[in-house]
């Protein structure tokens, strides 16, 4: 059981706003039917024939599950700025002294990732989580066959990451999150195609799920707080699952999280997106902090992103001639909402084509040739699309933000100090990293500009004109 204190904004009868502190409870019992957190996370160790994880690996996983549940079930709309929450977690752990020693660092790291104020209060636990059974259903995985772990989401970057690792002949255990059934099917289909393309390299795919139901009040009634859609801490849960597997495979087994560096460095598209509205999953500050925490608690596994200095177009270019890539890359899912296509009577999952991840995806394919991805055909990237969906959270919000970013880039692209200031907006970088990210930023912006040019020509124009880009800026696009 873990408890969550939250500060919730309320309004009294005369319209004055104040904050009241609420305690909610999540039960993570061994018996799933008595828990309000539904999970099959025990598959991470039972698939290898283990009854439990090491104490410190289990602690990390329980912490990540707890953070994810709080993140998912505490709406941001109840806060003073509609984003930043004050969350206090009371967590049971087995190695309590080790976690107390890194408490401040962990709170800071989670705050950087999600944009919230986290306070964690650890208490001693003696109970191992679901350590009462062995795997009797599935064929056991031989841990001796593997030397690395990598995240596998079903997205384009993780798909390419798998090809890169198998090209290197790294025997890799891939781990993914079963967010919904249609995604699970796509993940398995893509992995099966990869498996057939690399028959002589050992590989395995393990999927797990964590689904927090309504938290409970102290009296046992449902708190009915609603659901938060942003879930910025989800990547922490994915990585904790990957580290759990790495701890089974052996000391110093590396964990990979393949993602293009342009997304990783997380330059805000607009000033209003300077906070957590953009992901910080593979930002170098987050990965460095998390790796330091792992080392300090005795988990000797380093989380690495070997695509940190590559644009998405450069990643695609590395694999564009492979048969397995040409056949399956169009079926990967980059979209931030791949199931919303059902409202347009298009069978999900489907890349929408207009969210920020999809826009970067479009640009990456055009950098090497034709994009054969099937996007939601109802929407065309043009000025009419922007005008029709011109509300704050509307379908055109990411495209509008990207156009603003392009306009800003064209104005300042020769000003190195300005570009570098954008790159360190989230936090300081070493000089070598800053220079590498500067080159990467220019490359990625060129890919996006080329995509906008082609969409403009194909769909009736007006994208660049919409933001008042004049003849001088148009000339720079030639």
pLDDT score, position 30: 59
pLDDT score, position 97: 98
- The average pLDDT across 330-358 equals 93
> Is 327 or 81 the better-scoring residue by pLDDT?
327
- The average pLDDT across 286-311 equals 98
Distance set, CA 142 to CA 139, 202, 339 (Å) = 9, 10, 36
Q: Which of 467, 384, 6 is nearest to 226 (CA)?
A: 6
Q: By the 8 A CB rule, do 266 and 441 touch?
A: no
Please tell me the distance from the alpha carbon of residue 238 to that of residue 136, in angstroms, as a whole number.
25
Q: Convert the pLDDT of each residue in 174-186 to its tens digit.
A: 999 998 888 899 9
Evaluate if residue 325 carries a pLDDT over 70. yes
Q: Phi, psi at residue 90, to the nearest 5°?
A: -105, 110
- The average pLDDT across 147-156 equals 97
**Burial class of residue 260, CB neighbours in 10 A (0-12, 13-18, 19+):** buried
For 87, the enclosing helix (H) or strand (E) is: strand 86-93
Q: Convert the pLDDT of each residue in 188-232 to its tens digit.
A: 999 999 999 999 999 999 999 999 988 888 777 888 888 887 788
Which residues, 6 or more positions from 273, have their beta carbon under 8 angstroms from its beta carbon?
401
Q: Which of 133, 45, 121, 127 is nearest to 94 (CA)?
A: 127
pTM beyond cutoff 0.75:
yes
Six-digit token pair at 414? 């020769």
Please tell me the distance from the alpha carbon of residue 53 to that of residue 248, in angstroms, as a whole number.
8
- The average pLDDT across 419-441 equals 96
Evaluate if residue 312 carries a pLDDT over 90. yes
Alpha helices in 255-342 (DSSP H): 261-265, 284-297, 312-319, 323-328
Distance set, CA 264 to CA 41, 284, 441 (Å) = 27, 7, 11
Evaluate if residue 17 carries a pLDDT over 50. no
- How sure is the predictor about 83, in pLDDT bands with cuts at 50, 70 and 90? confident
pLDDT score, position 425: 92
Q: By the 8 A CB rule, do 28 and 35 touch?
A: yes
Please tell me the distance from the alpha carbon of residue 179 to that of residue 161, in angstroms, as a whole number.
20
Please tell me the distance from the alpha carbon of residue 119 to that of residue 113, in angstroms, as a whole number.
14
pLDDT score, position 371: 95
pLDDT score, position 13: 44
Which residues, 6 or more positions from 167, have their beta carbon under 8 angstroms from its beta carbon?
none
């Amino acid at each position: 059981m873990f408890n969550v204190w939250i500060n919730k904004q309320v309004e009294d009868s005369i319209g004055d706003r104040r904050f009241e502190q609420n305690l909610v409870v999540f039960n993570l019992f061994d018996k799933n039917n008595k828990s309000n957190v539904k999970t099959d996370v025990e598959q991470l160790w039972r698939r290898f024939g283990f009854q439990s994880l090491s104490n410190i690996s289990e602690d990390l996983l329980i912490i990540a599950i707890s953070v994810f549940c709080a993140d998912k079930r505490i709406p941001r709309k109840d806060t003073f700025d509609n984003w930043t929450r004050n969350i206090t977690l009371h967590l049971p752990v087995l190695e309590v002294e080790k976690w107390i020693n890194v408490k401040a660092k962990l709170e800071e790291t989670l705050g950087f990732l999600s944009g919230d104020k986290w306070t964690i209060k650890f208490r001693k636990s003696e109970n191992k989580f679901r350590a009462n059974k062995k795997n009797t259903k599935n064929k056991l995985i031989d841990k001796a066959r593997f030397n690395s772990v990598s995240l596998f989401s079903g997205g384009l970057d993780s798909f390419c990451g798998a090809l890169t690792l198998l090209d290197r002949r790294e025997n890799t255990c891939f781990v993914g999150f079963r967010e919904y059934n249609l995604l699970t099917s796509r993940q398995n289909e893509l992995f099966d195609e990869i498996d057939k393309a690399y028959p002589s390299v050992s590989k395995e795919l393990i999927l797990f799920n964590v689904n927090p139901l309504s938290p409970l009040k102290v009296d046992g009634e449902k708190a009915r707080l609603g659901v938060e859609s942003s879930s910025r801490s989800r990547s922490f849960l994915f990585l904790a699952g990957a580290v759990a597997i790495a701890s089974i495979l052996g000391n110093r087994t590396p964990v990979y999280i393949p993602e293009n560096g342009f997304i990783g460095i997380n330059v805000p598209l607009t000033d209003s997106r300077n906070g957590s509205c953009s992901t910080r999953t593979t930002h170098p500050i987050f990965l460095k902090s998390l790796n330091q925490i792992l080392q300090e608690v005795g988990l000797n596994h380093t989380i690495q992103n070997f695509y940190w200095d590559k644009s998405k177009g450069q990643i695609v270019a590395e694999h564009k001639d492979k048969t397995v890539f040409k056949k399956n890359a169009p079926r990967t899912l980059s979209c931030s909402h791949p199931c919303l296509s059902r409202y347009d009577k298009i069978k999900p999952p489907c890349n929408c084509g207009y969210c920020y991840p999809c826009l970067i995806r479009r640009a990456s394919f055009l950098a090497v040739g034709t994009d054969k991805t099937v996007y939601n055909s109802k929407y065309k990237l043009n000025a009419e699309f922007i005008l029709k969906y011109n509300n704050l959270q509307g379908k055109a919000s990411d495209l509008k933000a990207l156009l603003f970013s392009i306009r800003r880039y064209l104005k300042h692209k020769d000003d190195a100090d300005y570009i570098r200031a954008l790159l360190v907006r989230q936090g300081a970088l070493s000089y070598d990293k800053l220079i590498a990210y500067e080159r990467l930023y220019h490359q990625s912006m060129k890919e996006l500009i080329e995509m906008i040019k082609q969409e403009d020509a194909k769909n009736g124009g007006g994208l660049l004109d919409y933001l008042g880009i004049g003849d001088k800026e148009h000339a720079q696009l030639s």
